[in-house]
Structure 1
């Protein structure tokens, strides 16, 4: 990084040069080169102590990261490499034990990574490890209060995990990493929906106008976990358990739309805040679950001016949720209820875009999981015809003003499932067109 920055003659372009390093995976190549060098040190040391033994290829990046993880997270030592001759086992372990404490990835004074970049490399390898104990230890480490989110974890994790499904419990850690990557004025959003396995999309909308997108699929089951501050999430996973908080104060910052099978809030105090970045478009936090679990003695949530909290679950009319509880009254007409769900599902999936508009990728909007059949497709097309939705390149854009003027419903109304008479007439026209 220092070499690239030093070679840039125009100081105004240094931030661009730094960004190109991160996006070009230069950091990943640098960490690999450091570990290759360490492997060479071990080969040289063994060549001097074990006659006729060639250690080339041993103590590679995978083994180094596994040993570093076991040292930092205090798990059992990794196995000796397969195929190592018996007479070389003891010298090999001795050489490793002499080199590992001085590894460039380790702090020389404390048992921790020497930098955030090296820490992200170790953590990503541990989280994706086939060793269940190591992966769980890394998850506890990354999610614990004293350890601040690592802005480099997301990129290293993507490289380590490949394109396969990831545990649901890792989603919150990766989202926290993306939030740590964001600068002033940037907007970070997460969408997750599905039955047992979830389709997850994370986005960083930068103030400069550029955007980054990260897509994951989760393995079936598991728990979505978020830390002490939750913001910008849209979760529609009625069969999934969602946990928020780490004890103490839990902060919800708009916009949030959360629908889960079970919602667990680990906190003694809940604070609800608006998000200045989204202006007045969406300052609502809606929490919906079949079951909600909180710590005993929880006081009524502290809701800051400008934010709105709505909760929907059995027993939400009781203390401390009474002022925030909303009864879910489904329309008596099943077809109208389906249309209302389709409109809500489509519209609240849109998120803030770099141009101050609400946007969503074309593939996400047109996916069967979103439309769920002819009704959803007909509704989307009607909204396009009425210019409530517009397709520009690879993105659909939602116009909140047109939604209110033409459809007769506000963005926040949809989140709290409030459908005025004008909205019902609009949806009835869509239903009639399918008759």
Structure 2
């Protein structure tokens, strides 16, 4: 037999039935052996796993308090049959009289079905009335025994509450000593107030007097005063409005008529015929330069100016696309000419000649002159509208003049850009013609 000191542990053969015997000196205070089957949280799953003198078996008789005699108690445990939720079996004892210091030498013996028995002997204790002797706990796939020797003051109740047992306090003396509550004396009911035979009627409210609403005479007088005030204000601040009301309405009518006419879709006019189809660089005749300044003039009204501007824009786009196409062809044919080891084929020469002829016929100079004339018209239009704005004071007319002036300024800006681009396209066209002629000369023609 192996005796364990306090706090030591040793493996225990768990197969079969394990006998746990608790022996104490006879003739002294009696002990009540108990067992708590607890889980991982250190508390019993239910009160069924608290084994003591009033409940000697656990569920399934896995733990059985078999013998309780004077100076001896025995528990029989089958560890292999314990549920997986039970992790420890705490073996303890409690006493009602005295303390465990009077039971020094109490011995706990654990005897497995096969294997060496283990023992723990109480060698020190105080005034505790409950004490944990040992515990059987799972270790891997087997079991071990640990010698504890921990005491509890107060007897079985604090020990049981420590492991989650709900202990009811059934002390008849305590319940009998509690006096019954004293009911307060009942006061006699207060009699209701007597109802008078004739009730005083409530005062009748006086009818509200409705305020008279203003009639048609009042409204007419107010309208007359308002008209007189407005007429006086017009006479004071703008007397010409009273003198020429017909002119104001006529100008308003002209404004709306002008707006509707300018929003109509107009067909682009025919482009002006260029003075010559020859390139400007090949023109031998020189124009005489005038030494006198000539003020810009505009031979058209506002509406034709915008019509010719739209036609100019359409032809500018066509010229730009035609020049870009010729530029790509020139680069392509130059590469073919460098890579060709034989004589130039006839389609190659004809294509270059055709490009020279078509580029020479582009009316770029004529459209440049057109853009310059339209730019002069836009400048004159801006000056005229600014002058009218300075002389005008009627809001409706001022609004129309401001819109027309902004439109004229946008026109002048666009025409300036188009004229600059046409000058660039004219120079580029001249270089393209030279390039196509160089291709023809390279073919020996």
Alignment TM-score, normalising by the size of structure 2: 0.15
Structure showing the higher strand proportion among its residues: 1
